[in-house]
Amino acid sequence: MSSVHKRVLLADLGNPDASLRPYETVKHVLRQVSPADVVRCIADSGLRGRGGAGFPAGIKWRAVAQELSDIKYIVANGAEGEPGTYKDRYLMKHLPHLVIAGMIIAARAVGARKGYIYIHHEAEDCMAAIRAALDEARRLGYLGEDILGSGFSLDLDVHMAGVGYVAGEETAVLQFIEGKPAMPRAKPPYPTTKGLWEKPTLVNNVETLANVEPILRNGAAWYRSIGTADTPGTILMSLNGVRNPGVYEVEAGTPLREVIYGIGGGPAGEGIKAILPGGYASAFLGTDDLDVPLEYGALRERGSSLGCATIHLFDKNACMVEVASKVMQFAAAETCGQCFPCRKGTREFLKLSLDLERGKAGEDWEQQLEGVFSLTGRKTLCGLDKAASAVMRSAYRLFADEFAQHLRFTCESCYSEAVHP
């Protein structure tokens, strides 16, 4: 099986002589491409945000660019609080100038003159790499006042992210940078109109911004020639549970099977029972889904999502009740507690899955589960509860036999876990 390694973002990885090359594009853009044309190029490229939702970058950029405000901000979201996700850290550590160049081009396109790179609180190596790269960029005149005599000025700083998964949600990011607790706030207004200190703010994922320089260098049509119509370009995947775990860049549309076997070397364990293709905020797929192309649309059609492209594999011998309860443990620990459906729903999912694991499920267990599904169907600030619900629902649907069996008696794996946790 051939593996589809495509290098757009990682083309210059390991080549120190090329580390400053992205600034050649910055120079060209500042001198010869108008802000409106930059926005048009990003819109035409079909670039979709890599922070989880796959939102079209061009639409967001246009919204910020159209706001009439003297002060605007740009934020690169590198919070990465999702377990098993390390692709943004990889980019920031190994290709910091690619991220910074993307931010300079984006900031000028939307009219932002101040920006922050929001980095996971434990990623000291990334903070050091980005700080050193910012110093270098300032020294070379790519940041600061009147960059390269273009009249455009930009100042970028590192901001350590708040602790926890929810701290990566965009409004929580803004709250934290403003000095408040890293908890989501209501939308609308969206950050594009009222972001940092109520000013229009462009919030993009680190990987999204890393795509900007290659797109401006090679053009929108080139970018669209890679990947699929639904998801142009490549995807940086964090591969877990395979023989060769790590970060890989693949062309969008590559079948899941090829990623797992061709690139990851196959499952680390004895075989595959289930896959979470987009991290803990996606939904389980089974082995029947191994030929699904990795793109936003195809995964959504199967009731799952690409999310931040974090693949988790679950072993052929795994107990899916136990697996579901581990994910619910994560959700219940990470809810910020502001919204009742999420505060209550994540706890109830955890309680119900633990009851099942421990052989303590009551007669009305299934009825109770349906009740929590309907509770978590309501609107909440960030939708963490809906993500938990999608995981629980997909486990319950795909592995109905295992769940039904646990309603009668606990399995060997759960039993030994309970006796020797």
Ligand X SMILES: Cc1cc2nc3c(=O)[nH]c(=O)nc-3n(C[C@H](O)[C@H](O)[C@H](O)COP(=O)(O)O)c2cc1C
> Residue from 53, 148, 268, 375 that binds ligand X (CB under 6 A)?
53
Give 91 or 414: the residue with its C-beta nearer to ligand X. 91
Choose the binding region for ligand X from 17-25, 52-60, 322-330, 399-407 (rule: CB under 6 A): 52-60
Beta-strand relationship, 201-205 and 114-119: unpaired
Query: Which conformational region is residue 385 in: left (phi greater than 0), alpha (psi within -120 to 50 degrees), or beta?
Result: alpha
CB of 103 to ligand X, least distance (A): 12
Q: Does 385 bind ligand X (CB under 6 A)?
A: no
- Binders of ligand X among residues 305 to 364 (CB under 6 A) are none
Q: Does 55 bind ligand X (CB under 6 A)?
A: yes
CB of 83 to ligand X, least distance (A): 11
Could you tell me which of 287, 241, 242 has the C-alpha nearest to residue 399? 287
Choose the binding region for ligand X from 108-116, 201-209, 263-271, 315-323 (rule: CB under 6 A): 201-209
Interface characters, 226-265, with ligand X (x: CB under 6 A)? ----------------------------------------
CB of 331 to ligand X, least distance (A): 10
CB of 308 to ligand X, least distance (A): 7
Q: Does 205 bind ligand X (CB under 6 A)?
A: yes
Could you tell me which of 228, 393, 419 has the C-alpha nearest to residue 320? 393
Bridge-partner residues for 272, per DSSP? 315
User: For ligand X, how many residues bind (rule: CB under 6 A)?
Assistant: 22
The Cα 232–Cα 236 span in angstroms is 13
Give 51 or 264: the residue with its C-beta nearer to ligand X. 51
The two structure tokens encoding residue 188: 């609308």
Give 181 or 271: the residue with its C-beta nearer to ligand X. 181
Could you tell me which of 196, 209, 6, 7 has the C-alpha nearest to residue 96? 209
Q: Does 170 bind ligand X (CB under 6 A)?
A: yes
The Cα 330–Cα 64 span in angstroms is 34
**What residue type is assigned to position 152 of the chain?**
F
- Binders of ligand X among residues 69 to 88 (CB under 6 A) are 77, 79-81
Question: Helix (H, G, I), strand (E, B), or coil: what is residue 163?
Answer: coil
The two structure tokens encoding residue 121: 């609180």
Give 49 or 267: the residue with its C-beta nearer to ligand X. 49
The reply to whether omega before 277 is within 30° of 0 (cis) is no
Residues 6+ apart with CB under 8 A from 36: 65
CB of 344 to ligand X, least distance (A): 17
**What residue type is assigned to position 405 of the chain?**
Q
* Helix segments in 255-339, DSSP class H: 256-257, 296-301, 320-334
> Residue from 52, 58, 253, 345 that binds ligand X (CB under 6 A)?
52
Q: Does 46 bind ligand X (CB under 6 A)?
A: no
> Residue from 46, 49, 96, 255 that binds ligand X (CB under 6 A)?
49
> Residue from 158, 166, 299, 414 that binds ligand X (CB under 6 A)?
166
Beta-strand relationship, 234-239 and 246-251: antiparallel
Q: Which residues bind ligand X (CB under 6 A)?
A: 49-53, 55, 77, 79-81, 165-166, 168-170, 203-205, 208, 382-384
